[in-house]
């Protein structure tokens, strides 16, 4: 069932969000200092794994195929909500990157937007994941035949196999010499 791999990916995302929550609590206690290296790691994880890999499979494969099906009003609403939530998460990560860059340039006032962005992500992901796990992934599988589900799993694997090449091609393109 295609929902299985997506739900397994959620468990890894939850681990990163737990680390972010731990750092958020620690940094809040020591107002005035954050760890830019952790933020870079977190941003890379969210952009590459949570967004490009996980949300990519949802949007490029699962949601694409669901849009071809006669969804119930409830399932269609959740689908649109999930797409909008992905957009909001991308914006929060972009805000975090901007604030981190300001912080690295010595702007201490950037700490508040850093903490606010991380707090938003820490609060967002558990609710978003719960919605997908419990309200969406399993119920929407009924719209697909066994063969369609099998094809989707194959497409997920192919999607994953291209990601590493995509990521490091972008790394090389972004190196400034």
Residue 30: the pLDDT is 65
Q: What span, in angstroms and rounded, lies between the C-alpha atoms of 154 and 10?
A: 19
Tell me the average confidence (pLDDT) per consecutive run of 10 residues in the chain, 177 residues long. 83 96 83 88 95 94 96 96 97 98 94 95 97 92 96 93 85 82
Residue 5: the pLDDT is 80
Q: For 69, which DSSP code?
A: S
Residue 26: the pLDDT is 86
**Contacts of the segment 5-8: beta carbons below 8 A, 24+ positions apart:** 5/57, 5/153, 5/156, 6/54, 6/57, 6/58, 6/62, 6/132, 6/137, 7/132, 7/133, 7/137
Residue 101: the pLDDT is 97
For the chain, the structural domain boundaries read 3-174
Residue 163: the pLDDT is 84
Class of domain 3-174: mainly alpha
What pTM does this model have? 0.89
Q: What span, in angstroms and rounded, lies between the C-alpha atoms of 67 and 48?
A: 25
Query: 2 is written with which tokens?
Result: 């295609």
Q: What span, in angstroms and rounded, lies between the C-alpha atoms of 93 and 108?
A: 19
Calculate helix-pair angle for 111-130, 36-44, nearest 10 degrees: 30
Residue 3: the pLDDT is 73
Query: 130 is written with which tokens?
Result: 């719960």
């Amino acid at each position: 069932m295609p929902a299985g791999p997506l739900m397994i990916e959620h468990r890894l995302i939850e681990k990163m969000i737990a680390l972010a929550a731990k750092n958020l609590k620690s940094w809040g206690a020591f107002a005035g200092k954050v760890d830019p290296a952790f933020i870079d790691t977190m941003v890379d994880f969210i952009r590459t794994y949570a967004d490009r890999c996980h949300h990519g499979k949802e949007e490029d494969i699962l949601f694409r195929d669901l849009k071809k099906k006669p969804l119930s009003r409830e399932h269609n609403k959740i689908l649109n909500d999930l797409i909008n939530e992905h957009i909001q998460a991308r914006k929060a990560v972009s805000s975090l990157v901007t604030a981190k860059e300001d912080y690295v340039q010595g702007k201490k006032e950037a700490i508040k937007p850093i903490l606010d962005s991380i707090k938003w992500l820490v609060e967002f992901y558990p609710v978003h994941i719960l919605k997908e796990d419990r309200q969406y992934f399993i119920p929407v599988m009924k719209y697909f035949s066994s063969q369609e589900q099998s094809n989707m799993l194959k497409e997920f694997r192919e999607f994953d196999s291209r990601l590493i090449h995509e990521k490091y091609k972008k790394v090389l393109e972004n190196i400034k010499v």
